[in-house]
Amino acid sequence: MPGSYDACCGRFHRGEAVAPTAERLMRSRYSAFVRGEAEYLLRTWHPRTRPARLDLDPGVRWTGLEVLATEDGTAFHSAGVVEFRASYRGGALHERSRFERVDGAWTYVDGDFPGA
């Protein structure tokens, strides 16, 4: 679908807008992993848990994203959880990610790995 990257995540990655929900932030962060946008990933990481740097593995080929569940994380909340499965060539990552607002913008805090 032409323009789908801009409609979904491009404007967030460029800093023209912020994700309105925790789920939209999680989806935009997945897209950033796919595109190698480490700067965006760091910018949307909660200051309390943000690493000093992020080295993405260029050999990982992400192949799909499935949102399994969401808890809170809307415009009416200050925190939320998104459970997802992100597939990559050779496997999948299953995570329950926690998000919090910082100065009105959603940020990724950390996550647990169910079944790990």
Q: Per-residue pLDDT tens for 80-114? A: 999 999 999 999 999 999 999 999 999 999 999 98
Strand ranges inside 2-90, DSSP E? 62-72, 79-88
Q: What pLDDT does residue 109 have?
A: 98
Contact 79, 99 (CB under 8 A): yes
Q: How many separate domains does the chain show? A: 1
Q: How far apart are CA 64 and CA 31, in angstroms?
A: 10
Provide, rounded to the nearest whole percent, the portion of the chain with pLDDT above 90: 88
pLDDT tens, position by position, 57-67: 989 999 999 99
pLDDT for 2 beyond 50: no
**pLDDT confidence of 5, banded at 50, 70, 90?**
confident
Q: Give 65's contacts (C-beta < 8 A, 6+ positions apart).
A: 27, 30, 84, 85, 86, 87
Domain range for 93: 5-112
